[in-house]
């Protein structure tokens, strides 16, 4: 079968909930991917930052294989010998005290919201069913009905109502709006330290720090969604470190599974986590030994291969190079670490056509929203490989300059 055959089959039998580029990948290693015809591409998306360690990392794959032969699932009805180790290692790494494991990012966000609500009733004394949670405009926290209930993107919400009540929206980056939105019933403020899906939006300096203080003063939980920004992507282990803040709760996922296996987690303090008692929340696959063994190795790879430092250094280098591209289509180039966006003017005709041209050059990128091209290669990328990519990006901008 060839590319065309796979596409026809997928479009016929698969639901159309995505609009992928017309490339069919059958193999990948490190930063490289190969399509069914054997054509090689540089992965400049990293599965939305779920493959930060690079594709099929030998250490992670080996761990996966070893664990798969030994023990894959017990459910939490029984204990297993991997989950306690992952929980401890995550706490040692992050400075949090307890972890609740889930599978997908959206599930972990839902979990954090449930914990925050319960905390509000049990510890803050909010009247039953009155808890409020504040989120930001243009947020992306996943796709479940509760999570899209506080989305501001019509595409994510249209025809999916009725929605879960109890959420308020403030503009991203506006600390005084946060302060004004807080009431005695506010349980939590949920925020992405950098809004990746919204187009790599970095909040004004000091916003996170100010928001953190406001939350503390008002006994409101500060919840950071670091699912995409965390674990090295932005040149720090967590994006919150740019402002030196420590959230009350943090949600991680994506590259926690090293691109091999889905796993997500909510991290917090014992004092907050203890509001959840046995039976009140869970997931059959949450904390399964296969996921935990993979995550443990994925975390070790991030540390031992210095991926955070590499993201910082290579990201800064690449950002500067991208800024040298002269094109009338470019409105702004921005980013932190290896999470970089090129925002195009609306007259550029949309980011999609740029991604399609980049694909022809052997570079796989994805537009985020209509006008931003996101560059997010695996964090193992070298300077030479970035130069290879830069040459092609420059060429595409030159080619599309006239059209
Ligand atoms: C990807 C993402 C999610 C959702 O994760 P899923 O695993 O797709 O459910 C939530 N928040 C942020 C910031 C993300 O980037």
**pLDDT tens digit sequence for 199-213:** 999 999 999 999 999
Sequence spans of domains, the chain: 3-56+306-401, 58-304
Question: Mind telling me the catalytic residues?
Answer: 140, 225, 254
Distance of CA 141 from the midpoint of ligand 1 (Å): 5
Q: Quick check: CB of 106 below 6 Å from ligand 1?
A: yes
What residue's CA is closest to ligand 1, atom 6?
105
* Digit-coded pLDDT (tens) for 28-78: 999 999 999 999 999 999 999 999 999 999 999 999 999 999 999 999 999
CATH 1.10.3720.10, domain 58-304, yes or no: no
How many angstroms does the Cα of residue 238 sit away from the middle of ligand 1?
Answer: 15
Answering whether pTM is above 0.75, one says yes
Give how far Cα 39 sits from Cα of 105, 153, 364, Å.
Answer: 32, 36, 12
Going from the Cα of 288 to the center of ligand 1, the distance in angstroms, rounded, reads: 20
Q: Indicate whether 402 pLDDT > 90.
A: no
Best of 142, 191, 229 to mutate for ligand 1, by most ligand atoms within 8 A of CB? 142
Q: What's the CA-to-centroid distance between 273 and ligand 1, angstroms? A: 21
CB atoms within 10 A of CB 66: 11
CATH 3.90.1150.10, applies to 3-56+306-401: yes
CA of 92 to the centre of ligand 1 (A): 24
pLDDT, one tens digit per residue, over 336-367 is: 999 999 999 999 999 999 999 999 999 999 99
As to burial, measured by CB atoms within 10 angstroms (0-12 exposed, 13-18 middle, 19+ buried), residue 341 is buried
What's the confidence (pLDDT) of residue 401? 86
343 lines ligand 1 (CB under 6 A): no
**Percent of the chain's residues with pLDDT above 70:** 100
Give the pLDDT band (50/70/90) at residue 282. Answer: very high
Confidence of residue 403 (pLDDT cuts 50, 70, 90): confident
Closest of 344, 342, 367, 375 to residue 21, by C-alpha: 367
Task: Give the residue whose CA is nearest to atom 15 of ligand 1.
Answer: 228
Which ligand 1 atom sits closest to the C-alpha of 254? 7
| Protein residue with its CA nearest to atom 8 in ligand 1 | 105
Which residues, 6 or more positions from 224, have their beta carbon under 8 angstroms from its beta carbon?
Answer: 191, 192, 193, 238, 239, 240, 247, 249, 250, 251
Distant-in-sequence, close-in-space partners of 76: CB < 8 Å, separation ≥ 6: 282, 286, 287
CA atoms within 13 A on the CB side of 23: 24
pLDDT in the model for residue 189:
99
DSSP string, 379-393: TT--HHHHHHHHHHH
pLDDT digits (tens, 9 = 90+) for 323-334: 999 999 999 999
DSSP-derived letter for residue 82 is S
* Cα–Cα nearest to 365, from 384, 392, 346: 392
Q: What is the structure's pLDDT at 369?
A: 87
Q: For residue range 229-246, what is the model confidence (pLDDT) as tens digits?
A: 999 999 999 999 999 999
- What pLDDT score was predicted for residue 344? 97
> Rounded to whole angstroms, how far apart are CA atoms 20 and 16?
10
**Contact between 302 and 225 (Cβ < 8 Å):** no
Which pLDDT band holds residue 12 (cuts at 50, 70, 90)? Answer: very high
What is the Rg, in whole angstroms, of the alpha carbon atoms belonging to the chain?
A: 21
Q: How far apart, in Å, are the Cα atoms of 192 and each of 14, 115, 240?
A: 31, 18, 9
How far, in Å, CA of 145 to CA of 142, rounded? 9
Give me the percent of the chain exceeding a pLDDT of 90. Answer: 99
- Residue 253: pLDDT band (50, 70, 90) is very high
What integer pLDDT is reported at residue 157 of this predicted model? 97
Examine the pLDDT at 126 and tell me if it is beyond 90.
Answer: yes
Report the pLDDT value the prediction gives residue 35, as an integer from 0 to 100: 98
The neighbour count for residue 219, using CB atoms within 10 Å, is 14
Condensed to tens digits (0 to 9), the pLDDT of residues 156-182 reads 999 999 999 999 999 999 999 999 999
Give the model's pLDDT for residue 291.
Answer: 98
Pairing of strands 132-136, 167-170: parallel
CB 192 less than 6 A from any atom of ligand 1: yes
Q: Which of 46, 48, 112, 228 to mutate to test the pocket of ligand 1 (most atoms within 8 A of CB)?
A: 228
- Would you state the pLDDT for residue 399? 93
- Please enumerate in sequence order all residues whose Cβ is within 8 A of that of 94, keeping only pairs 6 or more positions apart, or say none: 237, 238, 250, 267
Q: Is the pLDDT of residue 309 over 90?
A: yes
Indicate the average pLDDT of the chain: 97
Burial of 155 (0-12, 13-18, 19+ CB in 10 A): exposed
Our answer on whether the CB atom of 307 is closer than 6 Å to any ligand 1 atom is no
87: left (phi over 0), alpha (psi -120 to 50) or beta: alpha
Cα–ligand 1 centroid distance for 326 (angstroms): 33
Ligand 1 atom closest to the CA of 147, numbered from 1 = 10
Q: Which atom of ligand 1 is nearest to the CA of 262?
A: 7
Whose CA is closest to 368, among 190, 228, 234, 244?
Answer: 228
């Amino acid at each position: 079968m060839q590319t065309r055959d796979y596409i026809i089959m997928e479009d016929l039998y698969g639901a159309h909930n995505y609009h992928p580029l017309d490339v069919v990948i059958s193999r990948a290693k490190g930063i490289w991917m190969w399509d069914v015809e054997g054509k090689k591409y540089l992965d400049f998306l990293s599965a939305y930052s779920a493959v930060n360690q690079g594709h099929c990392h030998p250490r992670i794959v080996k761990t996966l294989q070893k664990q798969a032969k030994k023990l894959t699932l017990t459910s939490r009805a029984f204990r297993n010998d991997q989950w306690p180790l992952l929980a401890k290692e995550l706490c040692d790494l992050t400075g949090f005290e307890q972890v609740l494991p889930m599978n997908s990012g959206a599930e972990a966000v839902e979990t954090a919201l449930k914990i925050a609500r319960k905390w509000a009733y049990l510890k803050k004394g909010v009247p039953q069913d009155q808890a409020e949670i504040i989120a930001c405009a243009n947020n992306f926290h996943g796709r479940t009905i509760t999570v899209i209930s506080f989305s501001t993107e019509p595409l994510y919400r249209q025809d999916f109502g009725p929605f879960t009540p109890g959420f308020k929206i403030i503009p991203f980056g506006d600390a005084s709006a946060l302060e004004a939105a807080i009431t005695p019933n506010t349980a939590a403020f949920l925020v992405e330290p950098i809004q990746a899906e919204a187009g790599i939006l970095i909040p004004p300096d000091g916003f996170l720090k100010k928001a953190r203080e406001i939350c503390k003063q008002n006994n409101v939980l500060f919840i950071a969604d670091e699912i995409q920004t965390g674990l090295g992507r932005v040149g720090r282990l967590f994006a919150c470190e740019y402002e030196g803040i420590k959230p009350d709760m943090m949600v991680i996922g994506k590259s926690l599974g090293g691109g091999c296996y889905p796993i997500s987690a909510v991290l917090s303090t014992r004092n907050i986590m203890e509001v959840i008692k046995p039976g009140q929340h869970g997931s059959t696959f949450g904390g399964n030994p296969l996921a935990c063994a993979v995550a443990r190795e994925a975390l070790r790879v991030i540390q031992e291969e210095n991926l955070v430092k590499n993201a910082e250094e290579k990201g800064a280098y690449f950002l500067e190079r991208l800024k040298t591209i002269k094109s009338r289509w470019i409105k702004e180039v921005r980013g932190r670490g290896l999470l970089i966006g090129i925002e195009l003017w609306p007259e550029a005709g949309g980011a999609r056509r740029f991604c399609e041209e980049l694909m022809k050059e052997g570079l796989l990128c994805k537009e985020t929203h209509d006008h931003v091209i996101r560059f997010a290669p695996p964090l193992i990328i070298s300077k030479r490989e970035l130069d290879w990519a830069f040459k092609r990006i420059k060429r595409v901008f030159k080619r599309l300059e006239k059209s």
